[in-house]
Each structure stands twice: as C-alpha cells, then as structure tokens.
Amino acid sequence: MIEKILIANRGEIALRIQRACREMGIQSVAVHSIADADAMHVRLADESICIGPPPARESYLNTHAIISAATISNADAIHPGYGFLSENADFAAMVEEHDIAFIGPSPDHIRLMGDKIAAKKAVADVGIPILPGSDGEVTSLVDAQEIAMETGYPILIKAAAGGGGRGMKVAEDPAGLEEAYQFARTEAELAFGNDAIYIEKFLSQPRHIEVQVLADGHGNVVHLGERDCSLQRRHQKVLEEAPSPALNQTQRDAIGETVTQAVKAIGYKSAGTIEFLFEDGEFYFIEMNTRLQVEHPVTEMICGIDLVREMIRVAGGAPLGFKQSDIRFHGHAIECRINAEDPRTFNPSPGRIGDYHAPGGLGVRVDSGLYSGYAVPPYYDSMIAKLIVHATNRNECLMRLRRALEEFVIDGISTSIPLHQGLIGAPDFINGDYDIHWLETFVAELPGD
C-alpha cells in the first residue's frame, strides 16, 4: 500500500496527481522550485519542499534533490507526471534503488522505448505495424540508398535517440538522399550525442492516432481506446479528441486488440501510449510513451476511468479492477491545451493573472493550477490550463466546447483561447477532416492584425 506520494512535477499535472492522491486518502508531497512557491499544487499540498532555483535542470530535473526530498518526507512513491524526469530510465532506477516505488513502468521498459530503433524492433516483434524502412540503424550512405529504393520515396531519416519531432529529415527522391542523410546524422549527433539514424517511409497526409493502455504487471492489460492528436503545431499537440473521427468501429477494435496483445507480450506495467501515424486505413508505429500523457483526460471522459488512480493502484501492486469487457465508451471528448502565449504570434506571455474564471456546467472539466493573482513564471512550459469537454456525440461536444471557451476568463496575459475559438469554427475541423499538417496551414492562413 502506498501511503505518501512525492509528486515530481509542477503545474496542472502536479495538481491532477495531487487530486487523485487526496481522493485515495494518500498523503502527497509537492516539490517545487523557488519560482513555484505560490503554485496552486504547493498551496494545496499536505507537505511541500523547495528543491532548487527556477531553472528546471536545478530543480525539477535535479534527481538528487528529488530523491532527498522523498527521503526526508518519508514518501514511499514518486509520480513523475509527464515531461521532466518521467521518461528518464536512470531516474526510475535510482528511485527503485532507494526503495521508493516509481509510479510508472520499469526502468527497462522506459529505456527500451527511449531508443527509437530498439523500440521499433521490439514492437514489430509483438505484432505492432511499423513503417517500412530500414531494419534498425543505417550506417552508410550506400545502405541508405538501397533501403530507400526498396521502401519507395519519399523517405524519412530519423535519429534513433530522437522524439517529439526532433532529428528528422525528408528525402523526396534519390537526388536528395545524400544531403538528407548527412544532415540527419550531424543533427542527431549534435542534438542527442548519438548519430545513429534509421529510415522510414514518409507519409504525406497522416493522422496522429494513439492508443492508451493500462497494464498491472500481473498479466492484465486493457486498452482504453484511441485519441486523435493530429492537430499539432511544430510537433506540439494543440487539441486532442476521442474517439477519432477517422476510425470506424472495426478499425478501432482491431488496433485496440493488437496493442493490448503487444503490451502484454512485452510485459509492460502501468499506463502507456502507443502512438501511430494513420493513413489510408493503415496504422504505422511512431513511438511508445511510457508515462501519463497531457491528453489523458479525453480518455478518462469517454471511458469513466481515472488513469492516475489506476497508475497509483498498479504501482502499489494491485491488479486492475476491470477487464476489457467491462470497459464501455460513452460519447465524445475534446481537450484544448491553453497556453500563455499570443494566439497569433505564439510568443510566450508569462505574467500575473488578473481575473480568472473557469467555465462550469454539464460536461465541462478544467485542469489548471491558475487562480486570480497567480503569476505564470517565465521559466517553464507555456501550457497553463486544459479545458476538456464531454458530450453525447461529437457535434454536441463541439457546441459545448464553443460555449465553454466563451465562458473562460483569463485576464492579464495572452492565451491561446482565441486560437481554439477559431479552430472550432473551421469547417474542416467541424467535419473531422484534418491531418497532422492541417493546423500549420490553418495558422498560416489566419488573417493578420
């Protein structure tokens, strides 16, 4: 039984985890940098410990400070949230060495999925569809040319250590291959200290669809349906929805079953997400995220399962309390990520919040640490709130989202609320007709000031 959890994160996700703790009767310890002393999750915490100065590498990424904080507060588990140390296998191992439960998968699974070449091999072996391309690392231009020809142009060269869209280069045709190859290797070396690259077929108009799983380490694995996260800008998700408007029930059931079996086969434990590109009815593996995701609430809304609670239960050794056949999906959910940024220029807009009023009523959920008078610090990610709406079907969900966005008041700083308001009025979005490039085009075509 876990009795006290240290939350090694900040912002809305720290508050999200803290709420789950409180609802489970578990004590929580907030750790924070000097810049976050007034944060909502710190104010609401049972205990709080300042672990360092504002820069994340000296506080939220400071493994020693976090482990020390867990030790002095007698926490018996650490939840890493997302970002920061959540996919750091060494940190997960360090936590376990201190006899503290890491609320997430094993260090081995984190490490495996962190290596994009190894991950692709591992999931292909257990039946996950992958993009055609190189069978692992490509070490010479000659090999690259041969593989690219077999795969068929255009192809994509990716860094083995990459992720989140970094370290990728497209070669449109044989003529462009050499330059792309050299460029990708150099960038991989510079960005990740590792010049290993691999080749994949390049899809021109894919959607980003991901499947959420939960596994208890006792052999029980369920999937909680998919999320469509195709609305991205600079590889950052902006709005997510579930279910995907692009899948039919047969496709949904098939990919869910495939993922469940694969996750069972690799012996995974905790919450995890397998991300796919989806084009012409086919799924192609991108990566597996071995952590809670920003967009997990849309899944919670449609399946009625509290993902953070389940992660904590599983980390405490409990088996899942339900089977796949117990899981029912209801209606439609959409999440808007609300950032402290100019909705046109995307320039960050930290600063002090004036009036703050969250929307309410049926089917509206707000996950945010904002409050009136709070100062958004300039040191961290600009996401300050998530607005999640749930309704019987997608159309009602869009109408409810529109209503909730109108009610949302965040004064004193610029936010991306107007961008979302524009988005939900766009006919393509209303029709569910978008791919991963759609939002960039939409943003580029927004009228200027």
Partner 1 sequence: MAKNLKPTIESDLVRELAGLLDETGLSEIEYGTDGLSIRVAKHAVASTASLNPAAVPVEVPIAAPKQGAPIANEASYADHPGAVTSPMVGVVYTAPDPNSAPFVQVGDQVTKDQTMFLIEAMKVFNPIAAPKAGKVVLILVDSETPVEFGEPLAVIE
The site for its own copies (CB under 8 A) is made up of 15-16, 19, 22-25, 44, 297, 300, 304-306, 328, 330-331, 355-358, 360-368, 371-372, 391-392, 396, 399-400, 402-403, 406-407
Least spacing, CB of residue 403 vs its own copies, in Å: 4
Cβ atoms within 10 Å of 228's Cβ, excluding its own:
24
Query: Which residues are known catalytic residues?
Result: 291
Q: Are strands 282-289 and 269-279 parallel, antiparallel or unpaired?
A: antiparallel
Cβ distance to partner 1 smaller for residue 99 or 280: 99
Q: Tell me, residue by residue from 56 to 75, as one string, x for binding to partner 1 by CB under 8 A and - for no binding.
A: ---x----xxxxxx--xx--
Which of partner 1, its own copies, none does residue 73 bind (CB under 5 to 8 Å by kind)?
A: partner 1
Q: Distance between CA atoms of 192 and 155, rounded to whole angstroms?
A: 21
Q: Which of 7, 14, 40, 77 binds partner 1 (CB under 8 A)?
A: 40
Among residues 130, 409, 426, 443, the one that binds partner 1 under rule CB under 8 A = 409
What is the separation, in whole angstroms, between the first and last Cα of the chain?
A: 56
**Is residue 285 close enough to count as binding partner 1 by CB under 8 A?**
no
We find the least distance from the C-beta atom of residue 83 to its own copies, in angstroms, to be 19
C-beta of residue 151 within 8 angstroms of C-beta of residue 133: yes
How far are the Cα atoms of 72, 391, 394, 422 from residue 243, in angstroms, in the given order? 44, 12, 9, 22
In angstroms, what is the minimal distance from the CB of 237 to its own copies? 20
* Residue 432 contact among its own copies, partner 1, none, beta carbon within 5 to 8 Å by kind: none
Closest separation between CB of residue 274 and its own copies, Å? 23
Among residues 368 and 415, whose Cβ is nearest to its own copies? 368
Per DSSP, the residues of 228-283 read EEEEEETTEEEEEEES-TT--HHHHHHHHHHHHHHHHHTT-EEEEEEEEEEETTEE
Q: Binding to partner 1 by residue 44, rule CB under 8 A?
A: yes
Nearer to partner 1, 232 or 414 (CB): 414
User: At closest approach, how far in Å is the CB of 75 from partner 1?
Assistant: 11
Choice between 22 and 166, CB closer to partner 1: 22
Distance CA 335, CA 229 (A): 10
3-state secondary structure of 221: strand
52 binds, among its own copies, partner 1, none (CB under 5 to 8 A by kind): partner 1
Candidates 11, 52, 107, 114; binder of partner 1 (CB under 8 A) is 52
Regarding 356 and contact with partner 1 (CB under 8 A), the answer is yes
CA distance 440 to 310: 35
Residues 325, 270: contact at Cβ < 8 Å?
no
Which sign, positive or negative, has the C-alpha torsion 432, 433, 436, 442? negative
Check if the beta carbon of residue 224 is closer than 8 Å to that of residue 214: yes
Q: In this structure, are strands 269-279 and 207-216 parallel, antiparallel, or unpaired?
A: antiparallel
Taking the CA of residue 273 as centre, how many other CA atoms within 13 Å lie in the half-sphere pointing to its CB?
A: 23
Q: Rule CB under 8 A: choose which of 247, 335, 377, 386 binds partner 1.
A: 377
Cα 396 to Cα 275: distance, rounded to the nearest angstrom: 27
Q: How far apart are CA 311 and CA 326, in angstroms?
A: 18
Binds partner 1 (CB under 8 A): choice among 42, 262, 288, 294:
42
Q: Out of 37, 149, 254, 446, which residue is the one contacting partner 1 (CB under 8 A)? A: 37
- Tell me the closest approach of the beta carbon of residue 94 to partner 1, in angstroms: 9
Element (H, E) at 198: strand 197-201
* Nearer to its own copies (CB atom), residue 269 or residue 390: 390
Comparison of 24 and 130: residue with beta carbon closer to its own copies: 24
Q: How far is the CB of 13 from partner 1 (least distance, A)?
A: 17
Confirm if 381 and 83 have CB atoms less than 8 A apart.
Answer: yes
By CB under 8 A, the residues from 322 to 351 that bind partner 1 are 349-351
Report the interface residues with partner 1, using CB under 8 A.
29, 34-35, 37-38, 40, 42-54, 59, 64-69, 72-73, 349-352, 354-357, 371-378, 406-409, 411-413
